[in-house]
């Protein structure tokens, strides 16, 4: 996936001289996760820059550069670091178009690595979509592999709004054939049905897409798996259309249960598909705990394919939300 | 999707150039700012506006000096205390007043309010309501100039209190490391809200903080418009010629409270009087009178003209409807892409 | 309400010498909203301090002080300013107890004014509960008037965890008789049924509590109004018990529709009360726009009592979620 | 609710005092740190640990010098590169290693990992994984001492790269304005991750940044444990006696990459060799040998003893179970109140 990201950025830099890249160690070192490989060599130190450890400064600089004529792609190494620069994302970048009465545009991309699975501990392993949900003026998408990372990154760079792209860290090393070119651009705000099915709609995002697919592929039930891809805006019609057919919705989230992105989906679908749902909407999430260290615990934090399979089976057979694995523990 | 251009906008470019052209025009602009700010206070006092506002009486020389030292193609990031800068840079009084009063004639059609003025025609980015937020944004505008290899300059204007926030530090360091064409202008008016400088800030001269970034700095008398213009012009020249950023500290004072509701009980005894004795408008008018560039009648006429213009502007603003409900749904996301 | 807050803090400072107060202009000026009246005079400059404009520094200082033996009450003037210090709240304060294996405690309170209605514009008028939802290690409560502000503030100061208290800015001037003393403490995590009713459960928070009450008081339907008071944790049993009786849930939120705190409540209740609900859960919120300036627009942003009354009537008669007022406009 | 005290904890207080007592003990602690860090790298290399780690070989004199200059009742805020400080302050090797390996013997029972060490018995707050975050927290710990009028001191340890983040600036200003007993210790190891200081930082000497806060500062040879101890001791004495904060910059170097996966290709030619030639352990051992306080046999014995102790610690760690699932639900909220 990291190569797909480098390539997407590189192609867009070729296409448009106003695209610039900066972040911590993205230039000389080609990115802590090698997502800017070759960019410095190809485009030079004016367009590809290493920054100090100053997330507020460089996100703010992205805002200013975007408003005045560049198209910056800024990298936040771990999404948690957005915490030290949050104002620039949700209060400045998001509102500058509005605050100029529509006269300034803010075509900037904020990329960040997210997620558990690599033993980075509780301050470097979250997905944190919840921080951004509902922010007027911001778009947000999440890659689920090389192909979608490529397609979303290109769409984000061409968009004239501030766009956040989250990249599941465990997927950087994943290899996948990616068709390149404009046809592979994934419009922001569109979900993809990645597996057709009839019994249940399973909405997943980022790292949980492959989990949901794996669960569905060997299940006794017929699951329609949707890769949501974008959270702001999110593709209501694709989800609702599917739920109307299947009568069941399961949401598979990497985040903690409370306040997770699935609450947004669940509350909308519960409302709009009321009467159509043949069982409660069931959210499969991590428990409300900091992401633990240690491979076994961290693995347990993220819903597994077997667990998803089991939970969905239970939901479909009982028409009741099964309890979560941790309920007997806490 | 949106009515992007206010009918007043073309006028701002023209007004932008006036302050570059003559001392008389600069004096007149300072008078305009003072009168507009006073008017805003009056309108609030009369209950014609709700909400809050932050006016800048006493600080006019900084705004006009800055405008005089820069070009319409430069970019400026100001704060919630931005009416004076917006006017100095060319935004017409009716557009400022209109936004403050929530009218359609305002630069945001009235949905933004006093803290949110902007005018792309003269390089005024939306003024920043979060302390410090504009500083890195100005650095980004400067990055744009540097990347495109044009000779533009970005300016970041902020208060003394803002130099205690992280964004200030990060912004100055980044500008220095990347050697960007940006001028940081601190309006040191001795208070951040109700707190005197010394209770919140470990140094007396903000300019001293430039050393942390190996950055050039200057302290200037913020009540002397010529001095401000000259100081910022030096910094701008350095920036345009690739010499990197500068921190300019203008010592100034606000005659009014921090915001609408503040009666400023925290002032030191005699302090206000001392500053009033060095009023930037009186000083500059006195100078021009002394040099013969201006005569008392012309000054009187100028004051009257400005008063009349502002009366007219106010009339137009009050005739302009308040923002219509649909306006709140506009300009949230841009529909376009590259 | 501001007097109730000053009083609650003052009493707790009397009770416990380790309680200290700091924030911008909270000492000499007694608070931008007069919520620390008399504190400096009574407790002196060591316990009541003005800070520089350095939200990161003083929230961080609150964390350090709390871990080492003080009980700081820090004031964030407008909740939006949390954006410049977000890391200290959600990543430091919230996790320090966990990160010390339970050996350090972090008894600190972060108070912030929130909400629309005073003409402060889009960067000073939000409630932003959504920023914090789901953060492990953090508690969050919202005052709805003088009495609840008093009760929650005291509970928060005595709690050994980091607690965020949001105070609707329009309510500071509100006067209400408040019984003082320990009996008036409102335990964090408990909601209050502020009006009994049988047809519909109306859950409100902060500024919308009085809106919901006003709507219910003159309605044709019998509304049970719940002041949720705490969002983290929130009182599931009180809400669920009521919904099981009424069969209907309406949530009245001040925030924008997407990602609002109501999504959390709606997704849980839709799941747990599935089958019991006789109509879709209906969220009454502001539209997905920045808070507009100007009294008329700002008033329109916040759901009004008349609008709530109308929406609930429509829900109860049609058993369908009525459309929102802005749907014809966008 | 939770098994708060690791069985190792009482030992840390005792170990805390050793480094205060004799140069020999300090040398031995430096050797211990080096060996533990090397061991951690080995265990990662062997695939026995997943995740990441940041070790501190080359910087031992700063950690031990700091511990020697302070008391168990002081508070210390360190970073993700914290193993050395934790050991210097007294945390036993098995507890450090145990946490890094995710074992129950670790200070967090294995649910935290390498970046999150803490030990209230010796005043070590949880190490900070977010750059800069610990600086204001240390200021808060100092505020506690000041408010309670005890003579404790808080210490904030951070890297050169961390001085570019807002929290550094805000923390130092607040400490200065409130004149708090805190010592800021910058471990300037010339790199922040893969970036050399000069590419990210506008000054060469971090100590220069103290002037922005009218704060005392010192630069010290970070490879000389005596010098570090003396310098921090001066700062601590100033703090304890009400003289306010100090910024101490220790010039040092890390021999290893930033984190586990970093081979450090960015080093300048000959740079590593130059620093290895001034290895803090060799320097100090050489000094003690020269003065006769130590003889070669004792040094050998010391190295062997440490190696053996660490082998033993490793054995105990590997015998300790990995964190059990229920542990991840503990210590999230405290059940208590005042
Ligand atoms: C991050 C943040 N904290 C606090 C505030 C509230 N606030 C608005 S203006 C102000 C004082 C700013 O003082 P200074 O920088 O000196 O500018 P001045 O108002 O004097 O022009 C404060 C504290 C804010 N807007 N943003
Ligand atoms: C806010 C934030 N940004 C970025 C990082 C990633 N990061 C971890 S360590 C580090 C380098 C820190 O350099 P320095 O302060 O010099 O300390 P050193 O590692 O050299 O000891 C970076 C960028 C982080 N942890 N937090
Ligand atoms: Mg000021
Ligand atoms: Mg370093």
Helix or strand run (H / E) with residue B93: helix B93-100
pLDDT at residue D3 greater than cutoff 80:
no
Give the per-residue pLDDT at B261: 87
The mean pLDDT value for C288-299 works out to 96
Give the per-residue pLDDT at B5: 45
| Model confidence band, residue A321 (pLDDT cutoffs 50, 70, 90) | very high
Q: CB–CB of C99 and D116 under 8 A?
A: yes
Residue D56 CA to residue D87 CA, distance in Å, equals: 12
| Alpha carbon of D296: minimum distance to chain C alpha carbons (Å) | 40
The mean pLDDT value for C197-212 works out to 98
Q: Which atom of ligand 1 is nearest to the CA of B165?
A: 1
Residue A92 CA to residue B116 CA, distance in Å, equals: 12
Q: How many CB atoms lie within 10 A of CB D303?
A: 16
- Pairing relationship of beta strands C71-78 and C48-50 according to DSSP bridges: unpaired
| DSSP one-letter code for C302 | S
Phi then psi for residue D283, to 5 deg, are: -60, -50
| Model confidence band, residue C164 (pLDDT cutoffs 50, 70, 90) | very high
| Model confidence band, residue A307 (pLDDT cutoffs 50, 70, 90) | very high
Give the per-residue pLDDT at D49: 87
Provide the 3-class DSSP secondary structure of residue D314. helix
Nearest CA in chain D to B177: D202
pLDDT at residue B8 greater than cutoff 50:
no
The mean pLDDT value for B287-311 works out to 98
Q: Which atom of ligand 2 is nearest to the CA of D165?
A: 1
What mean pLDDT is reported for chain B?
A: 95
Q: CB–CB of C60 and D140 under 8 A?
A: yes
Q: Is the CB of B134 under 6 A from ligand 1?
A: no
Whether A296 is catalytic: no
CATH code for residues A192-321:
3.40.50.920
What mean pLDDT is reported for chain D?
A: 95
* Of the listed ranges A141-145, B48-52, C11-15, D216-220, the one predicted with least confidence: B48-52
Task: Using alpha carbons, select from B196, B198, B203, B202 the residue that is nearest to residue B266.
Answer: B196
Ligand 4 geometric centre to CA of D197 (Å): 8
Which tens digit of pLDDT belongs to each residue from A132-173? 999 999 999 999 999 999 999 999 999 999 999 999 999 999
Q: Cα B69 to chain center, whole Å?
A: 13
| Model confidence band, residue B49 (pLDDT cutoffs 50, 70, 90) | confident
Compute the residue count for chain B: 338
Whether C124 is catalytic: yes
Q: Which of D78, D170, D193, D259 for a ligand 2 pocket mutation test, highest count of atoms within 8 Å of Cβ?
A: D193
Report the share of chain C in percent with pLDDT over 90: 99
| Model confidence band, residue D4 (pLDDT cutoffs 50, 70, 90) | very low
| Residues of chain C with C-beta less than 8 angstroms from the C-beta of A133 | 130, 258-259
Which tens digit of pLDDT belongs to each residue from B14-32? 999 999 999 999 999 999 9
The mean pLDDT value for C136-143 works out to 98
Nearest CA in chain D to C157: D338
Give the per-residue pLDDT at D9: 43
- Pairing relationship of beta strands B75-77 and B154-159 according to DSSP bridges: parallel
The mean pLDDT value for B144-153 works out to 98
Tokens of C1: 């309400």
- Among C52, C57, C289, the residue with its CB nearest the CB of B328 is C289
Could you say which residues from 261 to 290 on chain A have a Cβ atom under 8 Å away from some Cβ of chain B?
A: none
Q: Which residues pair with A50 in a beta bridge?
A: A23
Using only the alpha carbons of chain A, give its radius of gyration.
20
Which tens digit of pLDDT belongs to each residue from D73-86? 999 999 999 999 99
| Model confidence band, residue B51 (pLDDT cutoffs 50, 70, 90) | confident
Asked if the bond preceding C233 is cis, omega within 30° of 0, the reply is yes
Report the share of chain A in percent with pLDDT over 90: 99
**ipTM score assigned to the predicted complex:** 0.98
Q: Cα C233 to chain center, whole Å?
A: 12
Residue A277 CA to residue C178 CA, distance in Å, equals: 46
| DSSP one-letter code for D321 | P
Give the per-residue pLDDT at C198: 98
Domain range annotation of chain A: 2-184, 192-321
CATH code for residues A2-184:
3.40.50.970
pLDDT at residue A312 greater than cutoff 50:
yes
CB of B143 within 8 A of CB of A65? yes
DSSP line for B125-193: PPPB-STTTHHHHHHHHHHHHHHHT----EEEEEESGGGGSHHHHHHHHHHHHTT-SEEEEEEE-SEET
Domains of chain B: 11-329 (3.40.50.970)
**C192-321 and C2-184 share a CATH fold:** yes
| Alpha carbon of C184: minimum distance to chain B alpha carbons (Å) | 33
Give the per-residue pLDDT at D13: 94
Give the per-residue pLDDT at B4: 43
- Among A52, A118, A294, the residue with its CB nearest the CB of D201 is A52
pLDDT at residue B212 greater than cutoff 80:
yes
| Model confidence band, residue B7 (pLDDT cutoffs 50, 70, 90) | low
pLDDT at residue D6 greater than cutoff 80:
no
The mean pLDDT value for C101-106 works out to 98
Which tens digit of pLDDT belongs to each residue from D77-129? 999 999 999 999 999 999 999 999 999 999 999 999 999 999 999 999 999 99
- Is C64 an interface residue toward D (CB < 8 Å)? yes
For residue D111, what are the CA distances in angstroms to A36, A298, C19, C117, D259? Answer: 32, 9, 32, 45, 19
Q: Which pTM value belongs to this model?
A: 0.98
The mean pLDDT value for B37-54 works out to 93
Q: How many contacts (CB atoms, under 8 Å) link A and D?
A: 127
- Is C176 an interface residue toward B (CB < 8 Å)? no
pLDDT at residue B10 greater than cutoff 80:
no
Residue A131 CA to residue C138 CA, distance in Å, equals: 14
Which tens digit of pLDDT belongs to each residue from C246-293? 999 999 999 999 999 999 999 999 999 999 999 999 999 999 999 999
The mean pLDDT value for A115-138 works out to 97
pLDDT at residue B1 greater than cutoff 70:
no
Give the per-residue pLDDT at A84: 98
pLDDT at residue B2 greater than cutoff 50:
no
Give the per-residue pLDDT at C329: 87
Q: Which atom of ligand 1 is nearest to the CA of B79?
A: 21
| Alpha carbon of A14: minimum distance to chain C alpha carbons (Å) | 35
The mean pLDDT value for B234-259 works out to 98
Question: For chain A, which chains pass the contact test of at least 3 CB pairs under 8 Å?
Answer: B, C, D
CB of D180 within 8 A of CB of D186? no
pLDDT at residue B3 greater than cutoff 60:
no
- Is A188 an interface residue toward B (CB < 8 Å)? no
- Is C283 an interface residue toward A (CB < 8 Å)? yes
The mean pLDDT value for B127-143 works out to 98
């Amino acid at each position: 996936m990291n190569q797909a990201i480098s390539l997407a950025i590189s192609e867009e830099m070729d296409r448009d001289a106003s695209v610039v890249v900066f972040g911590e160690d993205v230039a000389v070192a080609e990115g802590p996760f090698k997502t800017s490989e070759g960019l410095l060599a190809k485009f030079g130190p004016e367009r590809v820059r290493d920054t100090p450890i100053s997330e507020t400064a460089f996100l703010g600089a992205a805002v200013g550069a975007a408003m005045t004529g560049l198209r910056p792609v800024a990298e936040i190494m771990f999404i948690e670091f957005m915490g030290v620069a949050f104002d620039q994302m949700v209060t400045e970048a998001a509102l500058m178009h509005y605050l100029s009465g529509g006269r300034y545009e803010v075509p900037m991309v904020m990329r960040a690595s997210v997620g558990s699975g690599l033993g980075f501990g509780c301050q470097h392993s979250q997905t944190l979509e919840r921080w951004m949900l509902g922010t007027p003026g911001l778009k947000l998408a999440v890659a689920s592999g090389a192909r979608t990372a490529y397609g979303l990154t290109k769409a984000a760079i061409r968009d004239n709004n501030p766009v956040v792209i989250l990249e599941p860290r465990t997927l950087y090393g994943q290899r996948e054939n990616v068709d390149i070119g404009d046809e592979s651009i994934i419009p922001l705000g569109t979900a993809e049905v990645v597996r057709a099915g009839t019994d249940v709609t399973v909405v997943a995002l980022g790292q949980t897409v492959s989990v949901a697919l794996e669960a569905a592929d060997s299940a006794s039930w017929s699951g329609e798996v949707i890769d949501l891809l974008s959270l702001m805006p999110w593709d209501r019609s694709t989800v609702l259309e599917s739920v109307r057919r299947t009568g069941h919705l399961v949401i598979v989230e990497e985040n903690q249960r409370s306040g997770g992105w699935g609450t947004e989906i669940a509350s909308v679908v519960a409302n709009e598909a009321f009467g159509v749902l043949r069982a409660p909407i069931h959210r499969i999430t991590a428990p409300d705990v900091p992401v633990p260290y240690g491979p076994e615990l961290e693995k347990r934090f993220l819903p597994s394919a077997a667990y998803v399979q089991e939970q969905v089976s239970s939901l479909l057979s009982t028409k009741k939300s099964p309890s979560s694995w941790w309920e007997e523990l806490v | 999707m949106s009515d992007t251009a206010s009918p007043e906008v073309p006028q701002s470019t023209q007004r932008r150039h006036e302050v570059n052209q003559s001392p008389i025009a600069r004096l007149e602009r300072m008078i305009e700012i003072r009168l507009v700010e006073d008017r805003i206070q009056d309108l609030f006092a009369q209950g014609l506006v709700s909400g809050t506002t932050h006016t800048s009486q006493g600080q006019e020389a900084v705004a006009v000096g800055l405008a005089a030292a820069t070009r319409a193609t430069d970019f400026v990031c100001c704060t919630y205390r931005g009416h004076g800068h917006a006017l100095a840079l060319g935004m017409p009084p009716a557009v400022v007043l209109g936004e403050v009063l929530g009218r359609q004639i305002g630069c945001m059609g009235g949905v933004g309010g006093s803290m949110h003025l902007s005018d792309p025609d003269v390089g005024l980015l939306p003024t920043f309501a979060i302390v410090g937020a504009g500083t890195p944004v100005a650095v980004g505008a400067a990055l744009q100039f540097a990347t495109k290899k044009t000779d533009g300059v970005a300016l970041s204007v902020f208060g003394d209190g803002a130099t205690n926030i992280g964004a200030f530090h990060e912004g100055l360091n980044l500008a220095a490391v990347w050697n960007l064409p940006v001028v940081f202008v601190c309006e040191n008016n001795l208070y951040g809200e109700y707190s005197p400088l010394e209770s919140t800030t470990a140094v007396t001269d903000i300019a001293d903080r430039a050393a942390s970034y190996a950055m050039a700095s200057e302290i200037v008398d913020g009540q002397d418009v010529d001095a401000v213009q000259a100081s910022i012009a030096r910094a701008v020249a350095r920036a345009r010629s690739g010499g990197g950023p500068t921190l300019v500290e203008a010592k100034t004072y606000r005659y009014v409270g921090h915001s609408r509701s503040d009666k400023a009980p925290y002032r030191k005894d005699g302090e206000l009087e001392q500053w009033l004795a060095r009023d930037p408008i009186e000083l500059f008018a006195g100078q021009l009178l002394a040099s013969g560039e201006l005569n008392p009648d012309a000054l009187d006429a100028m004051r009257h003209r400005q008063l009349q213009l502002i009366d007219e502007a106010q009339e137009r603003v009050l005739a302009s409807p308040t923002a219509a409900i649909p306006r709140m749904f506009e300009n949230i996301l841009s529909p376009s892409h590259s």
